């Protein structure tokens, strides 16, 4: 199975606790590592988990509240001190580039590797990354300052050739790529074989949606609909819904309602207020609305299975 997983590096809101660091996650797709947000202490967690952070080539920052990016300059600096020799791409609000450049300038640091900055916008969904297998979409959320979520979505793979059938009708090697792309095959005698006779369906594309800090925001559903896995902040419980509304955050029940309405397969809740030492009540509140709910606990990895 081709790997697609999400590892929780931090799950606290605003301030760290003795048990939880501020928000950060690591997405692994085909053994390529993508970081989402980089709160204080993220690189320490990476070291504890024995994750080689020089393998991280793309970092996505959802917004400029400190609990989502105060660990970034430290990580950038450590990559520099350890002799990184390849590009690092950072995606985030336009002002983030100014923050990074200021920190490097006042510390008189000239990076030994290229840092390439990509400004995100939060007016509408926008594709901000693409390779042969994956695309990443940023999309607007509803927070006190400009904030984006991120959708990691696999591209549709090529069809699988039925090798038994291909050998039976002696399909030449040069025709395989065309057949995998969905073309029919016509042999030397003029007989045409439909592609569905020659191939199997590829695995269904998978997706992971990340909803950073946000109030309850139904417009996001259009982008994250049918995701295999959804992370949605759940800073408070329902008894503090007024607090959540005032601070443009969500409750566990509201996160679950988004998951339910978006028809996702599984929900991870996180960004927990430091007031909560015990997280089971938040999980129970979410499960009462959406059964397939899980806690974003540090060190946990959620795999997204590949289905045919």
Catalytic positions: 67
Distance CA 223, CA 135 (A): 13
For CA atoms 96, 33, 265, 196, give the dihedral sign.
positive
- Taking the C-alpha atoms of residue 182 and residue 185, their distance in angstroms, rounded to an integer, is 10
How distant is the alpha carbon of residue 184 from its chain centre? 36
The alpha carbon torsion through 34, 38, 41, 47 (nearest 10 deg) reads 10
- Bridge partners (DSSP) listed for residue 84: none
Close Cβ partners of 303 (under 8 Å, ≥ 6 residues apart): 3, 4, 5
Helices (DSSP H) in the chain: which residue ranges?
Answer: 42-48, 72-81, 94-106, 163-168, 176-180, 195-198, 221-224, 241-246, 252-262, 280-287
Burial (Cβ within 10 Å: 0-12, 13-18, ≥19) of residue 195: middle
Alpha helices in 24-152 (DSSP H): 42-48, 72-81, 94-106
d(CA 285, CA 238): 8
């Amino acid at each position: 199975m081709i790997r697609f997983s999400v590892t929780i590096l931090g799950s606290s809101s605003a301030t760290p606790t003795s048990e939880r660091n501020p928000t950060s996650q690591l997405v692994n797709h085909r053994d390529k590592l993508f970081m989402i947000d980089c709160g204080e202490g993220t690189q320490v967690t990476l070291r504890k988990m024995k994750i080689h952070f020089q393998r991280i080539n793309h970092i996505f920052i959802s917004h400029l509240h400190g609990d989502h990016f105060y660990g970034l300059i430290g990580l950038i600096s450590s990559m520099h001190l350890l002799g990184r020799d390849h590009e690092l791409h950072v995606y985030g609000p336009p002002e983030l580039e100014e923050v990074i450049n200021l920190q490097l300038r006042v510390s008189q640091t000239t990076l030994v590797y290229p840092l390439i900055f990509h400004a995100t916008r939060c007016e509408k969904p926008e594709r901000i990354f693409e390779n042969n297998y994956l695309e990443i979409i940023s999309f607007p959320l509803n927070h006190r300052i400009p904030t984006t979520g991120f959708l990691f979505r696999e591209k549709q793979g090529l069809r699988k050739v039925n090798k038994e059938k291909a050998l039976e009708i002696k399909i030449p090697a040069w025709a395989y790529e065309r057949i995998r792309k969905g073309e029919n095959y016509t042999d030397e005698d003029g007989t045409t074989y439909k592609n569905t006779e020659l191939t199997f369906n590829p695995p269904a594309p998978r997706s992971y949606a990340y909803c950073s800090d946000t109030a309850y925001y139904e417009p996001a559903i259009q982008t994250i609909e049918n995701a295999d896995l959804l992370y949605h902040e759940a800073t408070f419980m329902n008894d503090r819904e007024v607090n959540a509304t005032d601070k443009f955050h969500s409750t566990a029940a509201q996160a679950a309602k988004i998951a339910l309405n978006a028809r996702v397969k599984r929900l991870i809740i996180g960004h927990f207020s430091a007031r909560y030492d015990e997280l089971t009540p938040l999980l129970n509140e979410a499960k009462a609305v959406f059964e397939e709910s899980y806690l974003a606990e540090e060190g946990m990895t959620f795999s997204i299975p590949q289905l045919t």
